[in-house]
Structure 1
């Protein structure tokens, strides 16, 4: 089974422009996300999927500098971009990752993969009613992606990769991976300046050149209660990266 992690990334962002190429300690945000995907044991290949817009040349350059391939496709039809990237990578199974998650935990993604295999489902995702946003990932078969690509009609289904799955649940076997206590109150994704302040603070305290995981982040947030308040008021918006 060829499991490919596809990281969707664009330079544009309405709330925090250029966020994925911001320097976070010693590397860009995107570089940290790539490293964390590469560290997932069952992942065969990592590829970045960006657009053909001129500004996204910087995304392409950073992906190549980090030693992974980069597919450039439609800016707004992200479903098409994913499908073409998955074909390029000869994927059997795709893990969808967004580039604004520099705290992604490889061990949790690996657990999601194992859950996907054990349940023999078409689609599975991290349960955001248990895990914080920013640790999220989705996994689905190439056959499921092919169905979405062939049959997704609305602009919203083309703009958001897995919306077709959500709108046609009767056609797919769904799973949600949940484990442990509910920590969904925390927000660990990067979309606003407040998110940036929190994530940079976490990296300054925990990063020593190696990947640290959710358990270390959780302990830090429990020890320093003021940290989670930095972005507690931020509302999540749909992200087309």
Structure 2
């Protein structure tokens, strides 16, 4: 069996309705995007950035060039096409999809999940920790084959499917997807360490600058939040955007 080429594709853009320019905000001496990429590299996989052709995203492309990260620039709204074209250009057989608003994502979790995925040796498998959620929001990843991505690219027509990349796959619209869930015994789904609002940035900044969270494992970050209810409360009221919003 030939070795599959696995790559992490992170979507990133500067425009955000609730926190514009969020991925280039700084805490702990680095931008959120730098923290995100640094932690992804702990997975031991190649990382790719998929951003838009808009001039507003030139700073993201500039960072990618400076950091020697392959960067694909595509359609702003059809993010599915952006992922497909990025994966096609770089010859990926297996895609790990993440979003750049997760500066504390755990690369070790991704590495473990990828090993599970590869062991099944089945291109119809979709593996994620975000559908059956036991990890904090902000540790999210999805793993799927280029075959499933191509099928979605060729057949998806709904706006939500195009904007959010994977609904066509994880809603099994083709009828051939095997859904698998990456979970942990302890439920930490109540924690929110994704970056979408000023409150989210306040929490992540405190976690990094007062607790060194950017140097901690996912388990250590979850324990930190568990032991500090006041930190949890900073953004506990924030509601996640729904698909299509």
Question: TM-score, normalization: structure 1?
Answer: 0.93
1:32 to partner: Cα distance: 1.0
Partner of 2:76: 75
1:166 to partner: Cα distance: 2.7
Partner of 1:174: 179
Counterpart check, 1:104 vs 2:88 = no
Tell me: CA distance 1:239–1:7, structure 2 relative to 1, closer, same or farther (3 Å): farther
Partner of 2:167: 163
1: CA distance, partners of 2:118 / 2:129: 14
Partner of 1:129: 133
- The answer as to whether partners of 2:19 and 2:198 remain within 8 angstroms in 1 is yes
- The answer as to whether partners of 1:116 and 1:175 remain within 8 angstroms in 2 is no
Higher mean C-alpha displacement, 159-168 vs 48-57? 159-168
After superposition, give the CA deviation of every residue in 1:94-131 in whole Å (9 maximum; x if it has no partner): 00010000110111111211221233342110145211
2: CA distance, partners of 1:223 / 1:61: 39
2: CA distance, partners of 1:86 / 1:170: 23
Partner of 1:3: 6
1:155 to partner: Cα distance: 1.6
2: CA distance, partners of 1:66 / 1:36: 14
3-state SS in 2 of match to 1:39 = helix
**Which consecutive unaligned segments of at least 5 residues does structure 2 have?**
none
After superposition, give the CA deviation of every residue in 1:45-93 in whole Å (9 maximum; x if it has no partner): 2110000011001110111122201110000000000011111111010
Counterpart check, 1:219 vs 2:220 = no
2: CA distance, partners of 1:129 / 1:223: 21
RMSD across aligned C-alpha pairs, in angstroms? Answer: 1.7
Partner of 1:204: 209
**Which consecutive unaligned segments of at least 5 residues does structure 1 have?**
none
1:189 to partner: Cα distance: 0.4
- The answer as to whether partners of 2:156 and 2:162 remain within 8 angstroms in 1 is yes
Higher mean C-alpha displacement, 171-180 vs 52-61? 171-180
2: CA distance, partners of 1:67 / 1:145: 25
Partner of 2:199: 194
1:239 to partner: Cα distance: 7.4
1: CA distance, partners of 2:128 / 2:63: 27
- The answer as to whether partners of 1:31 and 1:63 remain within 8 angstroms in 2 is no
Q: Note the 1:218-237 alignment, pairs <5 A.
A: 218-237=222-241
2: CA distance, partners of 1:238 / 1:4: 27
Question: TM-score, normalization: structure 2?
Answer: 0.92
1:169 to partner: Cα distance: 6.1
2: CA distance, partners of 1:155 / 1:112: 29
- The answer as to whether partners of 1:34 and 1:66 remain within 8 angstroms in 2 is no
- The answer as to whether partners of 2:170 and 2:177 remain within 8 angstroms in 1 is no
Partner of 2:121: 120
Counterpart check, 1:30 vs 2:38 = no
